[in-house]
Amino acid sequence: MSRFKPTIEDVARAAGVSRATASRVVNNAPGASGPLRDRVHAAVAELGYRPNEVARALASGRPRAVDVVAVTYGPGIGWLGTHPYFSRVLAGMMPVLEGAGAQLRLHSVSRDTGCGGTGDGNTGGREAAAAAIDEIAANATLGAVLADVTPDLATRFLRRCRRTVSMVPTSSAVPGMEADNVGGAYAAVHELYRLGRRRIAAIHGPEFNPCAIDRRTGYRRAVAELGLGEHSADGGFHREGGYASARTLLDQDPGIDAMFVACDLMAAGAVQAITASGRRVPQDVSVIGFDDSIAAVCTNPPLTTMRLPVEEMAAAAARLLLEGTPAAGYRQRFPVDLVVRASSGHGQ
């Protein structure tokens, strides 16, 4: 097989037409027809021609690529490799993008170090993150989806790239897909209450994460309304944190009979910690997670959880970007529903 890559010039020559006509046919644009179309198609087939996307992008000024920016934090490589959230975003967008002939470019920015690397240094971390965000925004083309991001970074991104949509709540003008995190957490606590639980602890995500903040708010609101005490710890949105927090919580107050855990990964850790302490889930301690990610069904018992429709949100974000520049402050809301499995139990 020859390594020769035919250009549209070659196609045009082979078909005996001009470059413009060949382009029209290849792009299925109107204004060329009948015999010429056939000749061009034949030439394309014969030469094995494929348009060069890069040239096409440059010439048309609108490259067909959506940038997905995952702002990660946490130990090691960040969440990208372990937290199911990101794959769900990708999986949700992929079919939409592919259907539109758009590419998906993935970027990761570590909130702490700028680059999506393994570094843990804090020296100039914020500036590095900001610089990385600028860099990506400057080259974002069809648009960008901020998979997880802090409001300041989101605002900064929007300044360079209007065609942006955030997957997490940001207070700013950044268009976003917004799940009812507050309501979900609120509903989880109420469900636990309904099951007869009265000492409902919470394991939250990191305090700078917008989703974590909302879920915490929902928990607090519910607990306050129900006249219950507040017991909570920060589990950092990773399993290890969930384990450690559950332990701490149980040590502090052995009477805890339920836990609302702000993500399934942490909930998996919490279930392990509860079990390790000699308690049973759900008989002794009822657990409700959040996300309905793959982690929820891997635990034993499987997790009752609040389903975050990540795939749907991601698909909607992709569609929004494909359509054009979303209006500043645009919001699309998604419900967060209870999915009952075994970890919450059946009540007394």
Partner DNA sequence: TCTTCGCCTGAGAGCGCTCTCAGGTCTAAC
Partner DNA sequence: GTTAGACCTGAGAGCGCTCTCAGGCGAAGA
Among residues 42, 45, 55, 328, which is the contact residue for DNA, using CB under 7 A? 55
Backbone phi and psi for residue 313, each to the nearest 5 degrees, phi listed first: -60, -45
Question: Which of DNA, a second copy, none sits in contact with 131, Cβ below 5 to 8 A by type?
Answer: none
137 touches DNA (CB under 7 A): no
Helix (H, G, I), strand (E, B) or coil at 242: helix
Provide the b/e sequence for 44-74 (b: ≥16 CB within 10 Å).
Answer: beebebeeeeeebbeeeeebbbbbbbbbbbb
Q: Which pair of structure tokens corresponds to residue 338?
A: 């209870």
Radius of gyration (C-alpha) of the chain in whole angstroms: 25
| Of 332, 345, 5, 342, nearest in space to 145 by CA | 332
Opening angle at CA 95, ends 89 and 97, nearest 5: 85
205 touches a second copy (CB under 8 A): no
| Of 264, 273, 271, 205, nearest in space to 233 by CA | 205
Cα separation, 68 vs 105, whole angstroms: 6
Backbone phi and psi for residue 67, each to the nearest 5 degrees, phi listed first: -95, 130
Number of residues that bind a second copy (CB under 8 A): 60
**Piece of the chain touching a second copy by CB under 8 A; list 16-24, 57-65, 166-174, 254-262:** 57-65
9 touches DNA (CB under 7 A): yes
Question: Which of a second copy, DNA, none sits in contact with 227, Cβ below 5 to 8 A by type?
Answer: none
Among residues 7, 36, 47, 135, which is the contact residue for a second copy, using CB under 8 A? 135
Q: At closest approach, how far in Å is the CB of 138 from DNA?
A: 10
87 touches a second copy (CB under 8 A): yes
Alpha helix ranges (H) inside the chain: 8-15, 19-26, 35-47, 53-60, 84-99, 125-139, 151-160, 181-194, 210-225, 239-252, 264-276, 294-298, 310-323
Among residues 2, 3, 4, 7, which is the contact residue for DNA, using CB under 7 A? 7
What DSSP character marks residue 327?
A: P
80 touches a second copy (CB under 8 A): yes
Q: At closest approach, how far in Å is the CB of 73 from a second copy?
A: 14
Among residues 13, 41, 47, 56, which is the contact residue for DNA, using CB under 7 A? 56
Let me know: does 314 contact 92? Beta carbons within 8 Å: yes
Residue 266, CA distances (Å) to 27, 138, 248, 259 in order: 49, 35, 14, 11
| Of 276, 242, 237, nearest in space to 259 by CA | 242
| Residue 170 or 272 having the CB closest to a second copy | 272
Residues 14-53 that bind DNA (CB under 7 A): 16-21, 23-24, 26-27, 29-36, 49, 51-52
Among residues 42, 298, 327, 328, which is the contact residue for a second copy, using CB under 8 A? 298
Cβ–Cβ contacts within 10 Å for residue 233, how many? 21
Question: Which of a second copy, DNA, none sits in contact with 18, Cβ below 5 to 8 A by type?
Answer: DNA
**Piece of the chain touching a second copy by CB under 8 A; list 39-47, 54-62, 191-199, 214-222:** 54-62
Question: Which of DNA, a second copy, none sits in contact with 244, Cβ below 5 to 8 A by type?
Answer: none
58 touches DNA (CB under 7 A): yes
Among residues 24, 88, 163, 220, which is the contact residue for a second copy, using CB under 8 A? 88
| Of 92, 152, 158, nearest in space to 127 by CA | 152
Positions that interact with a second copy (CB under 8 A)? 1, 3, 5, 50, 52-55, 57-58, 63, 65, 77-78, 80-84, 86-88, 90-92, 94-95, 98-99, 103-108, 115-118, 134-135, 138-139, 141, 159, 162, 239, 265, 268, 271-272, 275, 294-295, 297-300, 302, 311
Positions that interact with DNA (CB under 7 A)? 5, 7-9, 16-21, 23-24, 26-27, 29-36, 49, 51-52, 55-56, 58-61
